Amino acid sequence: MSLPETYLQMISTVSTDGELQMRLAAKKMPTPGPDEVLVRIEATPINPSDQGVMFGWSSMDKATSTGTGADTILKAPVSKHGMQVMKARVGQDLSIGNEGSGTVVAVGENAQGLMGKLVGLMGGEMYAQYRLVKAAMCLPLGPDHTAKDGAACFVNPLTASSMVEAMQLEGHTALVHTAAASNLGQMLNRICQADGVQLVNIVRSEAQEKLLRDMGAQYVVDSSKDSFMADLTDAVHETGATLAFDATGGGRLASDILSAMEAAAARTPGAYSIYGSVKHKQVYLYGGLDTSETILTRGYGMAWGVGGWLLPNFLARVGQEAADRMRARVVQELTTTFANDYSDEISLADALQSEVVARYNAKKTGAKFLINPQLPM
């Protein structure tokens, strides 16, 4: 099979004069070195972690697109505060796409066994028609899997698995999760049910609550109800959860969770001292669906922490053995525990059309976009 001489790759750049620009750049088709393989990317999801790199702190409500097909260009202004926060990336062409899957179309001499195989990939630059990688980075998928099955076999599966791993590592026995009806949240429910871990799901509507109840979730609390704090405290008390993962990041939700944990501890004789409950209570902010400031009321004693949480940092902390164990489970349970649903499949050019951006950037439950770089543009 002969390959084209160039391929297209999505690029995001913040200019010194305060503008975000995204485009498709033509790159020379590479030839694999001895230990490398060339993968034709056939499916790559748009995750919140990708959107952070794509748009950063730009004013996306003012984004506009020009051109069509390979010539599509997306532009958005960046505020003074946005420029300050993104200082370190100004002027740099950033490639995007944390994970994807596709077919191996060229191999180096030490990687011939992978020729023609369908593989999952992680490591950036996946929003492109092709990607050259070390053979060791490929996760070969099963014979019945499709590229769509394997497109998101790293970020969400390993993030959800890592939440349970972190719970055990840091001495907690149950979990709280926000934005719990998301793809990731549903996956976490399947893992926790399989592993017998109690999980308190925080959702924002009755429809989301029903979705999780229908899949067997025992603890679901709706933050849109007046009884939210009482419901959350009851659920935290019943499960004994002292660790939470919050996808929203902003506002008072992290603080409310700590308050509920403190109120739950106060119901347990001996769990309380004059400086508050004794057991460490932790909320990790792993996303930023709400970009407003995080407000902490601090009415929960002294044994608490709030912090950022990023998958690569956690994987580095737990080491290769734990990462390999989690990865093997993902392939084993790819179309069950770790299955993903996609609402839309789009081309690279579609992903730069401002009206399409507005849809996937709304980050609504149920709206999950997949890019297929092989779709005609």
Residues that bind its own copies (CB under 8 A): 49, 52-53, 57, 84-85, 87-89, 94, 249-250, 263, 266, 272, 274-276, 278, 280, 282, 285-286, 288, 293-299, 301-310, 313
CB 281 within 8 A of CB 242: yes
E strand or H helix that includes residue 84:
helix 80-85
β-partners of residue 273 are 276
The SS3 assignment for 32 reads coil
String of DSSP letters for 142-179: PTT--HHHHTTSSHHHHHHHHHHHHHHHTT--EEEESS
What is the distance between the alpha carbons of residues 257 and 249, in angstroms, rounded to a whole number? Answer: 12
Q: Give the angle subtended at the CA of 166 by the CAs of 163 and 169, to the nearest 5°.
A: 155
Query: Cα–Cα distance between 221 and 232 in angstroms, integer?
Result: 6
| Spatial distance between the Cα atoms of 148 and 294, rounded to a whole number of angstroms | 36
The span from the CA of 55 to the CA of 361, in Å, is 9
* Closest alpha carbon to 263 in 227, 232, 239: 232
> Please, are residues 261 and 288 in contact by the beta-carbon 8 Å criterion?
no
C-alpha dist (Å) from residue 43 to 46, 100, 126? 10, 6, 9
